[in-house]
Structure 1
Amino acid sequence: MKKNIFLFVLLAGLIVSCSPVQNIAYFPHFDKEINRINETTYDARIKPKDILSISVVSSEPEASRRYNLFTPQTLELINSLYSQPSLQSYLVDKEGSISFPILGTLQVKGLSTKELELFIEEKLKPHFTQEMPIITIRILNYSINVLGEVFRPGKFETTNERMTIFEGLALAGDMTIYGRRDNVKVLREDVNGERIIYTLNLNDRSIFNSPAYFLEQNDVLYVEPNQSRANSSKYGAAETYRISTLSVLISLATMAATIYSITR
């Protein structure tokens, strides 16, 4: 009896020791000292299919009004909308351009919102006799998609046009323990329509220098499952029941061995 219990406990120990130990911590190879990382500036670049909000505000309302398109349902309130305008948005076409009032077709692909503001300001200079207008541009559809081994996969939006890969994971509730931190994928379509796949190792400090560290609008962030999750997906309900039963038997055997050793 004693020999059988010993063998059973030994088998349990072997099963546990053969289970893969997953590294679920971020930055495990960083020193305990403070690690300084060079600050990286990032400006989102306008791409085809982006939706832009463009407002022109100045001390010359009549001059500004010609450049602000309002949605039809707010036209009757146009005199009271200069403080909080509800503006018509601009869809960037596949050639990377928009049709702007008075100025006509503007090529905006590859520009940051700040660069486009300066570009439109230069174009409007001849049309304002007093101070220059304040031009504000926003990308309205700046969002990312997070899929795979995260707690809340889905589509997430941001209003500041800047999101790191860790902020994207945080919005999705972080990775599950089954997510591979050394093989995260970022699928991206650049300003020229070229599709790129980046493979990132979140355990390596070189992540901060990756072009995918800052996520761009419409990026797809995919967390690949680890081997433990892949193996578990092979089992059906019957196999899962057997594994659960075996785990219970192992626990009972361990308890019996402990009681036996105490009562000797």
Structure 2
Amino acid sequence: MKQIKACNLVPLLLLVAFFSSCGSVDKVSYFQDLVPGMPEQLDVPLEIRVRPNDKISIVVNSKDAELSNLFNLPIVSHRIGRSSEQSLYGTAQQISGYTVDEYGYIDFPVVGKLMVSGLRRTEIAEHVKQTLIKEDLVKDPVVTVEFMNLGVSVLGEVNNPGRFAIDRDRLTLLDAISMAGDLTIYGKRETVYVLRDEQGVQIPYRVDLTSARQLYNSPVYYLQQNDVVYVEPNTVRARQSTVNGNNIRSTSFWISLASLLTSVAVLIVK
């Protein structure tokens, strides 16, 4: 009887180890409530608006290059290396930018103070253009505005965590996750947090990526500068983090135990 009980423990323990290491597809798949051919309603797109301490570049062009250059900041060259002879090995050129002050203004050449806080990139370009025309400074200006230091951070269970630059007027949560190399298999699809600074208060929002309807209607589907995206680890990752401190929770522990009992059972039978 003892021999039979020992042998029966082996498949039982193997089953326990197997099921403890398996995850449900429901915990991994995105957009589980999507219906092919059925459109999903999106909220009004939230475009990036410039805030105090943001840095932007503004470039003015016209038929009269010398005149338009009066309104452009100098291009800065950064050294990126030197050879053994101490000669310049390479340079990287970058347009100087304007940092929005705490009151929302930038100091624009010749014109002076311009309010830009709260404006979209296209609105800033139009504001500068109309100001130059109104002041009879440039008759045919073409104004280009770019973001310089704006970005979002993606942390937690993603393949490439870090801070990523905002290079477009609309940046979605899916864009940020894509830039971070997607979630790892250990990331909770139903528990993704977005931390947003709203008037000096940090507000956490929870997003469920398994539900397209919930995602598209989330107030953080469209991200803003300085948002922090955090992907929570699932229970498998949590168990892995306690393997050294609590081996009984490890899948490898159960497999090793099953192997040991198999060997003991074989010896008993012999």
TM-score, normalised with respect to structure 1: 0.79
Match of 2:39 in 1: 36
Determine helix, strand or coil for the equivalent of 1:181: strand
C-alpha contact 1:63 1:127 (8 A) present in aligned 2: no
Match of 2:68 in 1: 64
Question: Which one has the bigger strand percentage?
Answer: 2
Q: Residue 254 and residue 132 in structure 1: after superposition, are their counterparts in 2 closer, same or farther (change >3 A)?
A: farther
C-alpha contact 2:154 2:162 (8 A) present in aligned 1: yes
C-alpha contact 2:158 2:182 (8 A) present in aligned 1: yes
1:195 partnered with 2:197: no
Match of 1:261 in 2: none
Determine helix, strand or coil for the equivalent of 2:106: strand
Distance (whole Å) between structure 1 residues aligned to residue 168 and residue 17 of structure 2: 49
Q: Residue 255 and residue 239 in structure 1: after superposition, are their counterparts in 2 closer, same or farther (change >3 A)?
A: closer
Question: Considering only aligned residues, what root-mean-square deviation do their CA atoms show, in Å?
Answer: 3.2
Deviations 1:139-159 (A, max 9, x none): 112322111111221122242
| Gaps in structure 2 of 5+ consecutive residues | 79-92, 266-270
Relative contact order (alpha carbons < 8 A, sep ≥ 6): 1 or 2 greater? Answer: 2
Q: Residue 16 and residue 119 in structure 1: after superposition, are their counterparts in 2 closer, same or farther (change >3 A)?
A: same
Deviations 1:158-182 (A, max 9, x none): 4224322122112212111221111
Q: Give me the identity figure in percent.
A: 35
Deviations 1:18-77 (A, max 9, x none): 56734111112323x223134653421101221100011112334322211214669xxx
Match of 1:78 in 2: none
Determine helix, strand or coil for the equivalent of 1:146: strand
Distance (whole Å) between structure 2 residues aligned to residue 202 and residue 118 of structure 1: 37
TM-score, normalised with respect to structure 2: 0.77
TM-superposed CA distance for 1:117, in Å, is: 1.3
Match of 1:11 in 2: 13
Deviations 1:173-216 (A, max 9, x none): 211122111111111224x4443221111112221122211222
Match of 1:122 in 2: 130
Distance (whole Å) between structure 2 residues aligned to residue 169 and residue 53 of structure 1: 26
TM-superposed CA distance for 1:137, in Å, is: 0.6
Letter in 2 for 1:168: A
C-alpha contact 1:189 1:196 (8 A) present in aligned 2: yes
C-alpha contact 1:90 1:98 (8 A) present in aligned 2: yes
| Gaps in structure 1 of 5+ consecutive residues | 75-84, 258-264
